[in-house]
Amino acid sequence: MKLHQFISLISLFIGQVCYAQLIVNTAIITFDDPNITREDVTVINDSDEETMYLQVEPFKVVNPGTQAQTMIPIDLSQEPEFLVTPNKLIVPPKGRSIVRFLNLKKKNNKENIYRVNITPIKAPQELFTKEPTDLSSRLEVVIAYQVLVIDLPATPESNLWVERNGTIATFKNSGNSNYLLSGGIQCDPVNPEACVALEDRRVYSGNEWILELLFDGPFTYMVKDTKGNSAHLFK
């Protein structure tokens, strides 16, 4: 399954180069067993002709799901709690490679969140046999992927709290692990056939999320916790 995609536009000065199509086999990794500290992600180059060069960058997410959320690069000069290897890959056409995720942090009562960017990059300069002669500028679209990594507490607990006030719904999580709201829908009470999809949202520990609804009528969500339990919310 392809991961969430984000697009960055990069101005380059060399001749036209097309990045090969990158496919990653999973979007989310969850470390829920203290005896399992390693997970592998497969990256695939779907191009018939182009070699793919990739950069892999892990980040610790501080204050996840809030306006103060910050992604901090993993400091390898200290004893790391989370590692991803290798940090660069060369994947031939129709080839595949493994990116290894290592969770080295001992379990406690806190959920830890990481994100890992897997980004196509230009071929290293040392691979060129001569200097490029085409100096025409151009714009290139780079499609990168981000893997969400969830390190669960020793005893995870997701506590859903929701309050409804007219067209404002407030969700909170007083537990120590996140829950996911998905498949949300609300229909116009005046015209029940007029329905809108609601935003999917992962509500992390300590989060408060305010949802502004279109109608002053019922809405539904599917709620899933980190233990795999699912429930239908009707509010």
**Per-residue confidence (pLDDT) for residue 169, from 0 to 100:** 96
97 and 195 co-located in one domain: no
189 and 94, same structural domain? no
At 128 the pLDDT is 54
125 with 166, same domain? no
Q: Looking at residue 191, which CATH number applies to its domain? A: 2.60.40
Whether 62 and 114 share a structural domain = yes
The residue to which tokens 């916790």 are assigned: 225
Tens of pLDDT, residue by residue over 118-166, are 998 887 766 655 555 554 455 555 677 899 999 999 999 999 999 999 9
Shared-domain flag, residues 101 and 43: yes
Q: Which two tokens stand for residue 206?
A: 């300590």
User: Are 164 and 143 in the same domain?
Assistant: no
- Which residue, 134, 151, 168, sits at the end of a domain? 151
Single out the residue in 151, 172, 202 at which a domain terminates.
151
Structure tokens at 230: 């699912």
pLDDT given for residue 161 in this prediction: 94
What local confidence, expressed as pLDDT, does residue 173 receive? 96
* Domain stops at, among 93, 122, 151: 151
Written as six digits, the tokens of 23 are 């496919």
Which amino acid belongs to residue 204? Y
3-state secondary structure the chain: CCCCEEEEEEEECCCCCCCCCEEECCCEEEECCCCCCEEEEEEEECCCCCCEEEEEEEEEEECCCCCCCEEEECCCCCCCCEEEECCEEEECCCCEEEEEEEECCCCCCCCEEEEEEEEECCCCHHHCCCCCCCCCCEEEEEEEEEEEEEECCCCCCCCEEEEEECCEEEEEECCCCCEEEEEEEEECCCCCCCEEECCCEEECCCCEEEEECCCCCCEEEEEEECCCCEEEEEC
Q: What is residue 22's predicted lDDT score, i.e. its pLDDT?
A: 85
Number of separate domains in the chain: 2
CATH code at position 140: 2.60.40.10
Amino acid 133: pLDDT: 52
Based on the domain organization, do 55 and 128 belong to the same domain?
yes
Per-residue pLDDT, 223: 95
pLDDT value, residue 78: 77
Clarify whether residues 92 and 21 are in a common domain.
yes
Q: Provide the pLDDT for residue 80.
A: 82
Confidence at residue 2, expressed as pLDDT on a 0 to 100 scale: 38
220 and 122, same structural domain? no
Question: For residue 156, is the peptide bond before it cis, meaning its omega torsion is within 30 degrees of 0?
Answer: no
pTM over 0.85? The answer is: no
Q: What is the pLDDT of residue 14?
A: 29
- 100 in the same domain as 10: yes
Structural domain boundaries, residue 33:
5-151
Residues 147 and 171 in one domain: no
pLDDT given for residue 8 in this prediction? 35
Low-confidence ranges of the chain (pLDDT < 50): 1-19, 135-136
Pairing of strands 179-187, 201-203: antiparallel
